[in-house]
Structure 1
Amino acid sequence: MGLVLFYQLTASTPDALARTLLPRALAQGWRVMLRGTDKAALDRLDGRLWIEPEESFLPHGMEGGLHDADQPVLLGLGPALNAAKAVLLLDGAEPLEGEVENMERVWVAFDGANPDRLQAAREQWKRIVAQGHKAQYWSEESGRWAMKAER
């Protein structure tokens, strides 16, 4: 059973968080599904991941290509077609049926300044904890990431 980590973004951007988490997951030997709800936002993120940071390369691809199953990091709107062991959920994306149980990590990143996203994340937290999954809530209010709650 995977661990679900909620990240309330107040200073960082989703792509900055992705550039932090994704290399760590790849170093563990995990493939990652990065799921969003907005294709245009994923396209922008895809572009940034190709050029930032300059000193490293993050292998990834957008869903719908010929090699989805081979991608270390697959960006898309749908299910993990790349045998992912971790999923990063952006823009209100939800874990799919059975996904939490089958992943090593599920990261839920949400805009802490958006009241609708904040409320949706609170509801996700309640559902995930009620289902008996381990969850942590992380905040960067102090200027660096700190765990604020764990269930």
Structure 2
Amino acid sequence: MDQMTPVFFYHLERQPLDSVLPKLLATSLERGWRVVVQAGSEERSEALASQLWAFDDESFLPHGTKADGFPDLQPIWLTATPENPNNANIRFFVDGAEVGDITGLTRAVILFDGNDQQAVDSAREGWKRFKAQGHEVSYWQQDEQGRWQNRAATK
């Protein structure tokens, strides 16, 4: 039997995606993982790519989109489709991107806006779906100091 991909749900309440995503991407690269970020639209993936260029004057997150080309050379690939052209280990789903096949990933991460009831409802449905399929699922929420805390997990 194939190893089931762990699914992490990040509930964005204290900080917006634009603040949280770069830190999670940096951590992924530090672990030696290749990354795909799947957004809800191509426009949003391009906007996130632009934002990654300027998020921190002290560091750089190497990334690209279909506008840049050479996906196999990109440690971080931003897209609005279920493609995995850089052979990513981890996939981030943002802005309501549809979570498709996660087979073979080291980890799948769903980031959802706690101020958007539709996003919260969708995350709840995703939790139920992945748990029923036998995936290990965990729910992460920021504490008052901005640290991520695992508030719920199943095996």
TM-score (normalizing by structure 2): 0.89
- 1:18-69 per-residue CA deviation (whole Å, 9 max, x = no partner) reads 1111111111211100001122222221111001111000000013543012
Distance 1:20 1:81 in 2: 22
Tell me the residue number matched to 2:100: 96
The answer to whether structure 1 residue 55 and structure 2 residue 58 are counterparts is yes
Residue equivalent to 1:105: 107
Report the TM-score when normalising by structure 1: 0.92
Which has the larger displacement, 14-23 or 77-86?
14-23
- Where structure 1 has 5 or more consecutive residues not aligned to the other structure, the ranges are none
Q: Distance in 2 between matches of 1:64 and 1:47?
A: 12
CA RMSD of aligned residues (A): 1.4
Question: Which portions of structure 1, spanning 4 or more consecutive aligned residues, are displaced by more than 4 angstroms?
Answer: none
| SS of structure 1 residue aligned to 2:58 | coil
* 2:10 is the counterpart of 1:7: yes
Does the 8 Å CA contact 2:37/2:79 hold for their aligned counterparts?
A: yes
- 1-structure distance, mates of 2:114, 2:143: 10
The 8 Å contact of residues 11 and 143 in structure 1, kept in 2 or not, is answered as no
List runs of 5+ in structure 2 lacking aligned partners: none
Identical-residue share of aligned pairs (%): 34
Asked if structure 1 preserves the Cα contact closer than 8 Å seen for 2:37 and 2:93, the reply is yes
1:124 aligns with 2:126: yes
Q: Distance in 1 between matches of 2:12 and 2:145?
A: 11
Counterparts of residues 1-151 of structure 1 (less than 5 Å): 1-78=4-81, 79-97=83-101, 99=102, 101-140=103-142, 142-144=144-146, 145-151=148-154
Is the Cα–Cα contact under 8 Å of residues 37 and 77 in structure 2 kept in the other structure?
yes
